Amino acid sequence: MLNRTQDQKSGLFWFVAGAVIVYFSMEYDLGDRHAPGPGYIPLITGLCMMLLACVLVFRDIRRERESISSLFRSTNWLRVTITIFALLAYAVLLPYTGFLIISILLMYYLIRAAGSYGRGVSAGAAILFSACSYYVFATLLEVPLPAGLLYEWMQGRFGQ
Amino acid sequence: MIDAVVTGFSIALLPQNLMFCFVGCLIGTLVGVLPGLGPVAAISILLPTTFNISPVSSIIMLAGIYYGAMYGGSITSILVNMPGEAAAVITCRDGYQMARKGRAGSALGISAIGSFVGGTVSVILLMLVAEPLAGVALAFGPPEYFALMTIGLVVVTFLAGKSMVKSLLMAVAGLFLGCIGMDTISAQSRFTMGFTFLDDGLGLVPVIMGLYGMGEVFANLEGNLSVSIFETKVKNIWPTIADIKRSLGAILRGTGLGFILGILPGGGAVLSSFVSYGVEKKLSKHPEEFGQGAIEGVAGPETANNAATGGAFIPLFILGLPFNVVTAILLGAMIMYGLRPGPLILATDPGFFWGVIVSMYVGNAMLLVLNMPLIGLWVKLLKVPYALLLPLIVIFCIIGVFSINLNISEIYVMLIFGVIGYLLRKLDYDAAPMILAMVLGPMYENALRQSLILSDGSYHIFMTRPISAVCLVVAFLLLIVPNVPQVAFWRKKAIVEASDDY
């Protein structure tokens, strides 16, 4: 079975990406060379991408092979993947919980994931950093960070 | 002109303007130091806070953030191999190597001196040549702009990364990313997938923060983070006589290059730092030292990116055209303040124009006087354990991205580009050509389409105009030359050596 190298695999990705760009560029008016339309440049970039991807793949075939898996061998995939999902969850929950609550949770996770601090220190640092960030940006600089539906509900329930 | 400069000083030296200049420089250095939070985000975040102060004070502060960040960006590049902002990317190559060899102080010192010289001389040049250059630039048409941007992109791909094919792929991908959004000629939305926030184009800030800020975070999370962010002691921040002798040429060349490239569309701080690095490497008697801690590799780019900030104000003030993201934000701010940048600004608002220009001279002096002694403070900031700094970087990136359009969708964009940036690192792609191409993309497309409309569809227009023809021939040669076997061998040797530890 062909053991594709990293450049071959990434080249194949770029080829497919270029083909997709070319395909969708066709949906826009290409115009003509006298008056190029909105699809003209994307079409050219897609074609260039496919051409360069071919160069990358064929050039790499002649080279010493390095398995793509070797690049990821020492990777702590679990930590990276969980962090990506944690950030995704942050973006999803931000409008509901508001900046402060979700930031404390995210920071707690990140401090725990990145360091060897205990729960108490991590929680303290997470609360301190989040509160300071909120104070500087939302209070001093008046950046309207999301207050969250929870805050709005509580204000409606108990604020009066 | 002397009267105008005196007027400028009388405005720039007003106590409130000195204070705003100082605040701008300090914030600029701070955001330059903190990875993931660059001048674009900082200016965007602070813009709403300037509505209650005078226009001249506002622009003085915002401009201070811009050139202050150029200086601050080098600190993280040198100490932690993480560019504080895009223009300091290239400084990582030799600055970090110098730090690893225990010469962080010299690297920071020469960076500060170069930044001061570049920034100051560029302001003086700006005063001298603003009007004549405006006349010349006005004569440029779309073919010239297209050719200048082409050569800018080719130079970046020529210099960046181990593989030119990969760099070209990055540039092409960047051009495509620049196409996303509403077409400026037909007003048709392209590749927005129905997301209205993409109608204005893919935000540069989320993309940069994703590729560099979040990409760096993911890359660091995969390894062992028990080590502290910086382990070398910073001492002797004043470079030795030998260091200054070695750097003098690089500083002078960086000043000229930075200023000229700063004026050109798409040039600015990022391109000038890359071009300066390439020039220094080519002119050096010891090119093999580049990437291993050559002080010229720090002095040249750091001088050039500061000199470029001065140059970048010429088109902004004289033509009313922003040629990079920061000046685009400044233009928006000026319009909000009721000012009309353009050739008439010298007649209608001379106090504003000369006050801001002279404040940049004052600001550069402030940066040198304040930051040389403050290097220790910035270093202390960076000595915070990475496990604690990392969540702060993430939160600054999130706030920075969100605050620009107050849109959570931008956080998703940043996250997507964070994953892309992480994978690009793993697969040995350099993201710099992608970012530059993305910034230039819309201008590049417009210039090409307008040129073809002008020439009635004939591509000969690019070769019948001298400036355009020369630029395109040079760009073509830069594309072809690396494939000449002997040159390919030289380029591979030089770039691989320079990038091995990057």
By the 8 A CB rule, do A90 and A117 touch?
Answer: no
A154 interface with B at CB cutoff 8 Å: no
DSSP code for B316: I
- Please give the C-alpha separations between residue A3 and each of A65, A67, B16, B200, in angstroms, as whole numbers: 8, 7, 66, 42
Using DSSP, state whether B189 is helix, strand or coil.
Answer: strand
A130 and A69 share one domain: no
pLDDT tens digits for range B132-141: 766 666 677 8
Mean pLDDT, range B101-115, rounded to an integer:
83
Q: CA-to-CA distance for B359 and B63, rounded, in angstroms?
A: 9
Confidence of residue A90 (pLDDT cuts 50, 70, 90): very high
For residue B453, which residues of chain A lie inside 8 Å, CB to CB? Answer: 34-35
For residue B428, which residues of chain A lie inside 8 Å, CB to CB? Answer: 6
Q: What is the pLDDT of residue B500?
A: 42
A135 interface with B at CB cutoff 8 Å: no
Q: Look at B411 and A90 and tell me if their CB atoms are within 8 Å.
A: yes
Window A:49-68, CB contacts with B under 8 Å = 49, 52-53, 55-56, 59
Q: CA-to-CA distance for A136 and B391, rounded, in angstroms?
A: 16
The residue range of the domain holding A9 is 1-73
Q: Look at A114 and B398 and tell me if their CB atoms are within 8 Å.
A: no
Q: Which of A40, A111, A142, A143 to mutate to test the interface with B (most CBs of B within 10 A)?
A: A143
Q: CA-to-CA distance for B279 and B265, rounded, in angstroms?
A: 20
By the 8 A CB rule, do B317 and B268 touch?
Answer: no
Give the minimum alpha-carbon distance from B427 to chain A in angstroms, rounded to a whole number.
7
Q: What is the pLDDT of residue B39?
A: 75
Domain count, chain A: 2
Window A:96-125, CB contacts with B under 8 Å = 103, 106-107, 110-111, 113-117, 125
A19 interface with B at CB cutoff 8 Å: no
A49 and A88 share one domain: no
Q: CA-to-CA distance for B206 and B182, rounded, in angstroms?
A: 18
pLDDT tens digits for range A72-88: 666 677 888 899 999 99
Taking CA–CA distances from A31, the nearest residue in chain B reads B449
DSSP code for A5: B
- Amino acid, single-letter form, for residue B96: Y
Q: Residue B136, class by beta-carbon neighbours within 10 Å (0-12 exposed, 13-18 middle, 19+ buried)? A: exposed
How many residues are there in chain B? 502
By the 8 A CB rule, do B295 and B110 touch?
Answer: yes
Residues whose CB is less than 8 angstroms from the CB of residue B245 and which lie 6 or more positions away in sequence, other chains included: none
- Amino acid, single-letter form, for residue B235: K
B487 against A40, higher pLDDT:
A40
Q: CA-to-CA distance for B114 and B116, rounded, in angstroms?
A: 5
Q: Look at A45 and B179 and tell me if their CB atoms are within 8 Å.
A: yes
B166 interface with A at CB cutoff 8 Å: yes
Q: What is the pLDDT of residue B36?
A: 54
pLDDT of B191 over the 80 cut? yes
Closest alpha carbon to B74 in B63, B86, B64: B86
Q: Look at B173 and A49 and tell me if their CB atoms are within 8 Å.
A: yes
Return the C-alpha torsion angle B258, B259, B265, B270, nearest 10. Answer: 20
pLDDT tens digits for range B57-103: 988 998 888 888 877 777 877 877 766 666 777 888 788 888 877 78
A157 and A89 share one domain: yes
Using DSSP, state whether B204 is helix, strand or coil.
Answer: helix
Least confident segment among A103-112, B71-80, B400-409, B485-494: B485-494
Residues whose CB is less than 8 angstroms from the CB of residue B395 and which lie 6 or more positions away in sequence, other chains included: A103, A106, A107, A129, A130, A133
A64 and A82 share one domain: no
Last residue of a domain, one of A16, A50, A73: A73
Assigned token pair, B10:
């009388």
By the 8 A CB rule, do A65 and A5 touch?
Answer: yes
Q: CA-to-CA distance for A22 and A26, rounded, in angstroms?
A: 6
By the 8 A CB rule, do B175 and B146 touch?
Answer: no
By the 8 A CB rule, do B395 and A130 touch?
Answer: yes
Q: Look at A115 and B218 and tell me if their CB atoms are within 8 Å.
A: no
Q: Look at B449 and A41 and tell me if their CB atoms are within 8 Å.
A: yes
Confidence of residue A16 (pLDDT cuts 50, 70, 90): very high
Mean pLDDT computed over every residue of chain A:
83
Give the minimum alpha-carbon distance from B303 to chain A in angstroms, rounded to a whole number.
32
Residues whose CB is less than 8 angstroms from the CB of residue B178 and which lie 6 or more positions away in sequence, other chains included: B201, B202, B437, B438, B439, B440, B441, B442, B444, B445
Q: Look at B190 and A39 and tell me if their CB atoms are within 8 Å.
A: yes
Last residue of a domain, one of A21, A52, A73: A73
Q: Which of A80, A92, A121 to mutate to test the interface with B (most CBs of B within 10 A)?
A: A80
Q: CA-to-CA distance for B250 and A149, rounded, in angstroms?
A: 56
- Amino acid, single-letter form, for residue B212: Y
B411 interface with A at CB cutoff 8 Å: yes
Confidence of residue B35 (pLDDT cuts 50, 70, 90): low
Using DSSP, state whether B214 is helix, strand or coil.
Answer: helix
Q: Look at B45 and A115 and tell me if their CB atoms are within 8 Å.
A: no
A82 and A153 share one domain: yes
The minimal CB distance from B385 to the residues A83, A87, A115 is found for: A115
- Please give the C-alpha separations between residue B386 and each of B52, B217, B229, in angstroms, as whole numbers: 38, 10, 5
Give the minimum alpha-carbon distance from A150 to chain B in angstroms, rounded to a whole number.
17
- Phi and psi at B145, nearest 5°, equal -60, -45
Q: CA-to-CA distance for A125 and B392, rounded, in angstroms?
A: 10
Taking CA–CA distances from A114, the nearest residue in chain B reads B387
pLDDT of B343 over the 70 cut? no
Give the minimum alpha-carbon distance from B83 to chain A in angstroms, rounded to a whole number.
20
Last residue of a domain, one of A73, A93, A122: A73
B425 interface with A at CB cutoff 8 Å: no
A45 and A95 share one domain: no
A158 and A93 share one domain: yes
Mean pLDDT, range A8-23, rounded to an integer:
91
A86 and A155 share one domain: yes
DSSP code for B182: E
B186 interface with A at CB cutoff 8 Å: yes
Q: What is the pLDDT of residue B385?
A: 75
B131 against B302, higher pLDDT:
B302
A139 interface with B at CB cutoff 8 Å: no
pLDDT of B41 over the 80 cut? no
DSSP code for B88: G
Confidence of residue A15 (pLDDT cuts 50, 70, 90): very high
Confidence of residue A22 (pLDDT cuts 50, 70, 90): very high
A1 against B78, higher pLDDT:
B78
The H-or-E segment that residue B190 falls in is: strand B189-190
The rounded Cα B27 to chain-centroid distance in angstroms is 17
pLDDT tens digits for range B415-445: 999 999 888 888 888 887 887 788 778 878 8
Q: CA-to-CA distance for B252 and B275, rounded, in angstroms?
A: 14
Q: What is the pLDDT of residue A49?
A: 94
A80 and A68 share one domain: no
Q: Look at B186 and A38 and tell me if their CB atoms are within 8 Å.
A: yes
* Chain A with chain B: Cβ pairs closer than 8 A: 173
By the 8 A CB rule, do B76 and B83 touch?
Answer: yes
The H-or-E segment that residue B121 falls in is: helix B104-138
Give the minimum alpha-carbon distance from A50 to chain B in angstroms, rounded to a whole number.
9
- Phi and psi at B189, nearest 5°, equal -75, 135
What are the residue boundaries of the structural domains of chain B, listed by start? 2-501
A88 interface with B at CB cutoff 8 Å: yes
Complex prediction ipTM: 0.88
Q: Which of B27, B62, B149, B169 to mutate to test the interface with A (most CBs of A within 10 A)?
A: B169
The minimal CB distance from A10 to the residues B394, B395, B427 is found for: B427
Assigned token pair, B258:
């930075």
B364 interface with A at CB cutoff 8 Å: no
Q: Residue B190, class by beta-carbon neighbours within 10 Å (0-12 exposed, 13-18 middle, 19+ buried)? A: buried
pLDDT of A14 over the 70 cut? yes
Q: CA-to-CA distance for B386 and B399, rounded, in angstroms?
A: 19
- Phi and psi at A51, nearest 5°, equal -65, -50
Q: What is the pLDDT of residue B225?
A: 56
Confidence of residue A128 (pLDDT cuts 50, 70, 90): very high
DSSP code for A39: T
pLDDT of B227 over the 50 cut? no
Report the percentage of chain A scoring pLDDT > 70.
Answer: 86
Confidence of residue B18 (pLDDT cuts 50, 70, 90): very high
B215 interface with A at CB cutoff 8 Å: no
A152 and A89 share one domain: yes
Closest alpha carbon to B390 in B218, B211, B207, B209: B218
Taking CA–CA distances from B459, the nearest residue in chain A reads A33
A7 and A23 share one domain: yes
Residues whose CB is less than 8 angstroms from the CB of residue A137 and which lie 6 or more positions away in sequence, other chains included: A143, A145, B45, B399, B403
B49 interface with A at CB cutoff 8 Å: yes
To the question of pTM greater than 0.80 for the whole model, the response is no
Window B:301-320, CB contacts with A under 8 Å = none
A34 and A88 share one domain: no
pLDDT tens digits for range B266-281: 556 777 888 888 888 8
For residue B457, which residues of chain A lie inside 8 Å, CB to CB? Answer: 32-35
